[in-house]
Amino acid sequence: MSNVRHLRHPEKARNPENPLMRKPDWIRVKAPTSEGYAATRRLMRERNLHTVCEEAACPNIGECWSRKHATVMILGDICTRACAFCNVATGKPRAVDPMEPENLAISVAEMGMRHLVITSVDRDDLSDGGAGQFVKCIRRIRDTAPETTIEVLTPDFRGKPGALEAVIAAGPDVFNHNLETVPRLYPTIRPGARYYESLRLLENAKKLDPKIFTKSGIMVGLGEEWNEVMQVMDDLRSADVDFLTIGQYLAPTRRHAPVMRFVPPDEFAEYRRIGLLKGFLLVASSPLTRSSYHADKDFEALRLARRNAPGA
């Protein structure tokens, strides 16, 4: 294994450090200490698997891992992009692990997972953007744990031909791709991506399989305006996206984009109310909401909402 240290956002190392705002009481969580947390952590290490829970410093890791629910991050732990909000290391990725689909499938079976979320780093160095590894993981899990429902949280694959089509054809139950923020903030927060390309990815996923659940999420507290969040909701509904997640942005370190505001819980509740009125089947909106937080419960709620939707 290489001894090279991969910097987290090396281009930001020259910038002045941002002050870290004191977190309000409603967003503080306890340090993970449960036996379930320890067991999940041990299994991830034994199978040489990475999780976005750890890499992104998710505040919900204690709760989720205690329930043996983890979001597995495939294709390594080094990203080819350097988004200003993300804590995943940036650098030159290692070779794709051919045993990753097998190790993941075995872990899912051992944990008895009802619902699995598979995400990945951006792999712009690969000809298919990493889509082929998503496909292998989905197929192997279907063989090993056929009762487990599968949600994929994919990158944009940089629009590489056939990448989205291959993932959708593999048959995940939920296709998730996060817009992350409002379009005005993309140049500074998500410079390696394009808002309307991400929106088109979600729209095309639904066109390829109208029965699949589509999902996207944004962070708030980055400097967005209320009307900009409303426009993102309208854009996602125009793309026929079913499920929206909205959570508070938390700066992983002083070298990341600063938190501009801690959004109060009642504002999150209003986002949820308006989102449902706009036609989303489900809206998860709270300070601690993340893309895969309570994803197993949300999937069941999605199925119920679709079953009860007018004209269903």
User: Looking at the predicted structure, is the pLDDT value of residue 137 above 80?
Assistant: yes
What domains does the chain contain, in order, with CATH numbers?
A: 42-302 (3.20.20.70)
69 pLDDT band (50/70/90 cuts)?
low
35 vs 2, 19, 39, CA distance in Å?
A: 33, 35, 6
pLDDT attached to residue 134 = 98
pTM: 0.85
* Across 60-74, 230-244, 271-285, least confident range: 60-74
- Residue 160 tokens read as 């590489």
**Mean pLDDT rounded to a whole number for the chain:** 85
Query: What is the per-residue pLDDT for 48?
Result: 65
pLDDT given at position 114: 86
pLDDT over 70 (residue 109): yes
Q: Residue 2: pLDDT above 60?
A: no
pLDDT for 3: 36
